[in-house]
Amino acid sequence: MKATKHHISDEMLIAYSAGTLPEAFALVVAAHVSMCDGCRTTLSAFDAVGGAVLERCSAVKVSDGCLAATLARIARGDAPRRPECCKDAVLPKPVVDYVGGGLDAVRWRPISGGARQAVLCADKAATARLVYLPAGSAVPDHSHRGIELTLVLKGAFRDETGHFAPGDVETSAEELTHRPVAEPGAPCICLTATEAPLRYRSLLVRILQPFLHI
Amino acid sequence: MDDTDGVQLLLRIRDHQDSAAFADLFLHYAPRVKAFLMKSGADHAVAEECTQDVMATLWHKAHMFDPGRASVATWIFTIARNRRIDALRKARRPEPEDLLWGPEDEPDPAEALELQQESARLGQAIALLPEKQRDLIERAYFGDLSHSEIAAQTGLPLGTIKSRLRLALERLRQQMT
């Protein structure tokens, strides 16, 4: 795979390692790390910090029966496993786990102008979704109330800040209003995580926002 | 516990389902896992319950432990962290795709030894950090405090927290090279 140019920030990797990211952001980080050996190495360094922190914890006494209870738990059998999903040429494994299959299994919903989306997980903090942009088309102009991560899975897009190819992640800050456009020639498929509902400039879109789930 | 001792114990569990080796690892790590979970906001009962889960998972997943990729403490930390997300935050933990490695690419013993020594050095480097920086790193990893909550508790503004965390990690990196 071509070396990625745009990576996950150290702060975001630390938060993923510490386990404090909202699930939607954790999904984008896991997907990027699946595609990027550099970030995988950095992440394992941050996990090692977590290991050192655990090792430094002053022991808290466990109950007398704790070991026996754990051995009984072990004897009861293996931990339940999630069924193994198929591999996919476009979707990295963590995304396949959420879709419940490969690209063919994604349940797309139309947004506008041929663009489509599929929400993969959503909670109070953030939403993760797959977005499909036809070749050469633009995402409606939007600004963010919070941080947005966009990971390219297929095709490419360009906006005011640069060019993004498969494996690249764009981290958009709160104040950024940008206009991503899919490169001509092929559709662009991205995985995004957004901290809060997007704030569109168009009043109509803003009114429709709760219904469109974008 | 010496890092290489921990690896030997875990390999005995992995290869021989050795319950004496498990008891030794349990004696060292179960009280630390419980402490970690309580620092993360769990009460005694929940922490005790989750500690049993974490240690049982260690047994069941011992075949996935790779001494060329993580120290025993790091590996147990990742299990405890994931259990915390599951039990305390009721959220799923998306994990990266596992790098494929089969019996034919058993980790190189020299590489494994080097990684274990590096982990020990990282522990020493953290111990040598100024207390304030170390405290910040620990709080970040206990995970029940967001950056803004840390700011509220210590009275430090958010920018300072972030730059201190960065500085702490920068110093860690320097110590490691």
Nearest to B65 by CA among B108, B104, B97, B107: B107
The fold of the B129-177 domain, in CATH, is Arc Repressor Mutant, subunit A (1.10.10)
Q: What 3-state class would DSSP assign to B176?
A: helix
Nearest to B95 by CA among A93, A46, A24: A93
pLDDT of residue A63: 96
Query: CA-to-CA distance for A142 and A126, rounded, in angstroms?
Result: 17
pLDDT of residue B171: 77
Q: Is B173 exposed, middle or buried (0-12, 13-18, 19+ CB in 10 A)?
A: exposed
Q: State yes or no: pLDDT of B169 exceeds 80.
A: no
pLDDT of residue A99: 96
Question: Which chain A positions have a beta carbon within 8 Å of B94's beta carbon?
Answer: 23, 26-27, 29-31, 94, 97-98
Domain boundaries, chain B: 1-91+112-128, 129-177
pLDDT in tens, A24-41: 999 999 999 999 998 998
pLDDT of residue B163: 73
Residue with tokens 């996990």: A47
Q: Report percent pLDDT > 90 for chain A.
A: 57
Nearest to A76 by CA among B59, B9, B88: B59
pLDDT of residue B152: 66
pLDDT of residue A83: 61
CB spacing of A55 vs B35 below 8 angstroms: no
CATH class of B1-91+112-128: mainly alpha
pLDDT of residue A196: 65
Q: State yes or no: pLDDT of B16 exceeds 80.
A: yes
pLDDT of residue A1: 47
B68 compared with A54, residue with greater pLDDT: A54
pLDDT in tens, A119-163: 999 988 889 999 999 999 988 656 666 788 999 999 999 998 899
CB spacing of B30 vs A70 below 8 angstroms: yes
A106 compared with B4, residue with greater pLDDT: A106
- Looking at every residue in chain B, the average pLDDT score rounds to 85
Contact B145, B153 (CB under 8 A): yes
Domain ranges, residue A79: 1-214
Confidence of residue A213 (pLDDT cuts 50, 70, 90): very low
What would the two tokens of residue B32 be?
Answer: 């630390």
Q: What is the mean pLDDT of residues B88-113?
A: 77
CB spacing of B123 vs A52 below 8 angstroms: yes
pLDDT of residue B128: 86
Whole-Å CA distances, A178 to A39, A85, A139, A187: 25, 35, 9, 19
Task: Please report, for the domain that includes residue A136, its CATH number.
Answer: 2.60.120.10
Query: CA-to-CA distance for B22 and A80, rounded, in angstroms?
Result: 21
Tally the domains of chain A. Answer: 1
Question: Which chain B positions have a beta carbon within 8 Å of A84's beta carbon?
Answer: none
CB atoms closer than 10 angstroms to residue A125 = 15
Contact A187, A132 (CB under 8 A): yes
Question: Which chain B positions have a beta carbon within 8 Å of A42's beta carbon?
Answer: none
A98 compared with B156, residue with greater pLDDT: A98
Confidence of residue B130 (pLDDT cuts 50, 70, 90): confident
pLDDT of residue A212: 47
pLDDT of residue A12: 84
Confidence of residue A201 (pLDDT cuts 50, 70, 90): very low
- Looking at every residue in chain A, the average pLDDT score rounds to 85
Work out the minimum CA distance from A87 to partner chain B, whole angstroms: 10
pLDDT of residue B132: 81
Q: What is the mean pLDDT of residues B18-40?
A: 96
Work out the minimum CA distance from A48 to partner chain B, whole angstroms: 5
Query: CA-to-CA distance for B14 and A86, rounded, in angstroms?
Result: 27
What would the two tokens of residue B129 be?
Answer: 């950090």
Which stretches of A134-168 are assigned E, i.e. beta strand?
142-143, 148-154, 157-159, 162-164
What chain B residue is nearest to A41 in terms of C-alpha separation?
B69
Query: CA-to-CA distance for A89 and A103, rounded, in angstroms?
Result: 8
Query: CA-to-CA distance for A190 and A167, rounded, in angstroms?
Result: 10
Q: State yes or no: pLDDT of B20 exceeds 50.
A: yes
Rounded to the nearest 5 degrees, what angle is found at the Cα of B82, between the Cα atoms of B79 and B86?
135
pLDDT in tens, A41-96: 889 888 999 999 999 999 999 999 999 999 999 999 866 666 666 789 999 999 99
Q: Is B98 exposed, middle or buried (0-12, 13-18, 19+ CB in 10 A)?
A: exposed
Which uninterrupted H or E stretch holds A169?
strand A169-172
Whether B84 has its CB under 8 Å from any CB of chain A: the answer is: yes
